[in-house]
Structure 1
Amino acid sequence: MEGEPTRIMIAVNESSIKKYPHPSISCRGAFEWTLEKIVRSNTSGFKLLFLHVQIPDEDGFDDVDSIFASPDDFKQMARRDKARGLHLLEYFVDRCHELGVACEAWIKKGDPKEVICREVDRVHPDFLVVGSRGLGPFQRVFVGTVSEFAQKHAECPVICIKRRADETPRDPVDD
């Protein structure tokens, strides 16, 4: 439709180096690239859609032994996870508001590869932007890659942004 903003979904995740609520190097780079190369000064022509997918732990307790868990423990952890996810999204939403770019943000739980593609099907963005750690073939086998999966399965164009060489941590699996 004429006059409607271009809707760009950006998948965001937390840093594995700094932990919550800091954005990962890759998703922060994808966001900054989108602002610099696509949005530029046309802030009213775009709407950014931020999706953060939280990966649930098998028992929900990260490193804590769940055998001693009470129902209140589960409720407390659910509140903590939600707060951490909201805090992460706050970084992106605040930046958009500073620049005058319309945005939405939400959290889902599950396998990021599947959830991102399912949300693309549900929301129908004009395209999806994902960050990439630039893992080699050996590392991809063990770590997996959300960006490759999205490129193959998402029902919209996918732009994959590699992190810059100067941003690569000592262990390339970190982000």
Structure 2
Amino acid sequence: MRVIVGIDESDESLYALQWTVNNLFNGPINSAAGGERNLLTLVHVHQPSKHYGVGPSAFPAGPGVAAYPSTALVDSVRKSQEQISARILSRALEMCDNKMKAETLILEGNPKDKLCEISEEMKVDLLIVGNRGLGRIQRAFLGSVSDYCAHYAKCPVLIVKPPKEMAGQ
């Protein structure tokens, strides 16, 4: 069985991973897969650097003035994003604790789109995402990765809700 868990910096996504480890990957080997272990892919998607429409990488510096960041600044921001992503996935990988075969993947883009795309590309059996418990109005304005994936992913989607004491923190 091939499973993707969407991971971000939220406690809810880490809870979804913990639930996955405890409930789906407790058996040592999947006999239906010819003796191969199940594969868990931990996916973190970070947003690309913001573009402001003035130029390919320009940002407003005052009324009618556009500034262009240096290549060094752009590289520094990209490196910082990669380090943050690596830290998030390292923490998540520790939770797997050698209980299953796990790999990590860092993508750039809109998390809801990228999770659906990669789950289709990798032909996964199950996509698992956490749920922040947004209210109806927050979901309308902010969007919901779990809601989007449930509607548009080409594979089954499991949305893991956090326990009540964790919700709304």
- After TM superposition, the score normalised by the length of structure 1 is 0.79
Matches within 5 A, 1:97-136: 98-136=97-135
Q: Output the CA distance in 1 between the equivalents of 2:94 and 2:45.
A: 19
Residue-by-residue CA offset, 1:137-173 (whole Å, 9 max, x unaligned): 1111111101011011111110001112211344xxx
Corresponding residue of 1:12: 7
Corresponding residue of 1:158: 157
- 1:49 pairs with 41, 44, 47, which one? 41
Q: Structure 1 residue 109: deviation in Å?
A: 0.7
CA RMSD after TM alignment = 2.1
- The runs of 5 or more residues in structure 1 that have no matched partner are 1-5, 15-23, 171-175
- What code does the residue aligned with 2:47 have? I
Q: Structure 1 residue 43: deviation in Å?
A: 3.7
- The runs of 5 or more residues in structure 2 that have no matched partner are 31-37
Tell whether 2:12 aligns with 1:26: yes
Matches within 5 A, 1:25-104: 25-40=11-26, 42-45=27-30, 46-59=38-51, 67=67, 69-96=69-96, 98-104=97-103
- What is the identity percentage for the equivalent residue pairs of Structure 1 and Structure 2? 25
CA contact (8 A) 1:44 1:102 kept: no
CA contact (8 A) 1:26 1:162 kept: yes
Runs (4 or more) in structure 1 with deviation over 6 Å come to none
What SS does the aligned partner of 1:130 have? strand
More helix, by proportion: 1
- After TM superposition, the score normalised by the length of structure 2 is 0.82
Q: Output the CA distance in 2 between the equivalents of 1:160 and 1:152.
A: 12
CA contact (8 A) 1:10 1:130 kept: yes
What SS does the aligned partner of 2:133 have? coil
CA contact (8 A) 1:44 1:100 kept: no
- What code does the residue aligned with 1:27 have? S
Q: Which moved more, 1:67-76 or 1:154-163?
A: 67-76
What SS does the aligned partner of 2:67 have? helix
Q: Structure 1 residue 75: deviation in Å?
A: 0.8
Q: Structure 1 residue 95: deviation in Å?
A: 2.7
> How many corresponding residue pairs?
152
